[in-house]
Amino acid sequence: MAQGVRESEISMELKTKIMTLIEEGWDRNRPPGGVGTTDSATIYTRLLAEGMDVPPGAMAQILEDLYAEGQITGPQPADREGRQLPGARAIIEPERRL
């Protein structure tokens, strides 16, 4: 779980909205016969623009959960010390969804 985030702070509404925005991004960016891509910075910006409350660390936890469940793929860039860089995650559509 992301540092400082309790499961109770992460609403189902936020989880659902994040997945909806991810799928919309995939649909917009999917090449013919390929897989869709988006990124966490784009999703976060759209959440804020739509007035969603995003507690610190909540989006990172949701993305980790979606990754663990196999609903998204993509690397999480890290700095030289191995710490994850927030807002830099590529969110790639799993091929099995096609």
**Domains of the chain and any CATH numbers:** 10-27+36-74+85-97 (1.10.10.10)
**pLDDT score, position 44:** 93
* CB neighbour list of residue 42: distance below 8 Å, 6 or more residues apart: 25
Structure tokens at 88: 């830099």
- In angstroms, the CA 19 to CA 23 distance is 6
Structure tokens at 50: 């739509």
- In angstroms, the CA 28 to CA 25 distance is 5
Q: Which pTM does this prediction carry?
A: 0.80
For the chain, 98 residues long, give each residue's pLDDT as a single digit of tens: 444 455 655 788 999 999 999 999 999 999 998 999 999 999 999 999 999 999 988 998 999 999 999 999 987 777 788 776 666 788 999 875 54
- In angstroms, the CA 94 to CA 98 distance is 8
Cα dist. 57→4, 6, 54, 93 in Å? 7, 9, 8, 22
CB 98 within 8 A of CB 47: no
